[in-house]
Amino acid sequence: LAKTTQPISMDSYEGQEVNITCSHNNIATNDYITWYQQFPSQGPRFIIQGYKTKVTNEVASLFIPADRKSSTLSLPRVSLSDTAVYYCLVHNNAGNMLTFGGGTRLMVKP
Amino acid sequence: DVKVTQSSRYLVKRTGEKVFLECVQDMDHENMFWYRQDPGLGLRLIYFSYDVKMKEKGDIPEGYSVSREKKERFSLILESASTNQTSMYLCASSTTRGYNEQFFGPGTRLTVL
């Protein structure tokens, strides 16, 4: 299973774009990358998933370079409510062989 | 609305007790997972199951066992609870198809005295 590494914490201000990078050097050919968001006293919830290049949805973008050894979650124009822990997850296509990163605690300041 | 429920939000047990944590999902998902979450250590996978009666060890299975007799229910068992098993326990489920995103329950905060 691919080991994942993320920064422990990041600070930002409202309205800024935030980029969180996850390193997964040993990612396998068939592995996918998924990001989750977790608020205090809640379980994580899905944000975005990708395999290669760029994926965008209504809340975030995910950038994956050609070698797939890292991925970057991009949150456009963050608000105070985006303060949370963000987890990177590498997993097989059945979603049951997986490794969570240690999580990045994002603090958005006014 | 999809749902993963866990039997208790808070649980206090004594060292040596047998502890059952129950998880139920209503989405007909094939995969179910048990994690523990500790400050600074993120989410660590204890066990997962990809089908009824099937189970696979995760990263930290020692001291735990699991049971999946029905598709919707996945139980985590602490045969003899110890103080180092004090933690937040999170259950999740996912399908093997499409995005296979994991849906998490609210968590059980277990304290072993």
Contact B107 A36 (CB under 8 A): no
- H helices, E strands: number in chain A: 0, 10
Q: Measured between CB atoms, which of A44, A94, A98 is closest to B45?
A: A98
Other CB atoms within a 10 A radius of the CB of residue A42 amount to: 14
Average pLDDT over residues B38-49: 90
Q: Which letter does DSSP use for residue A81 in this model?
A: G
| pLDDT given for residue B71 in this prediction | 96
How far is the alpha carbon of B82 from chain A, nearest alpha carbon, in Å?
23
**Hey, what are A50's tokens?**
């990708």
The per-residue pLDDT for range B49-62, each reduced to its tens digit, is 999 999 999 989 99
Q: Is residue A1 very low, low, confident or very high in pLDDT (cuts 50, 70, 90)? A: low
**Hey, what are B104's tokens?**
């998490």
**Hey, what are B39's tokens?**
């400050």
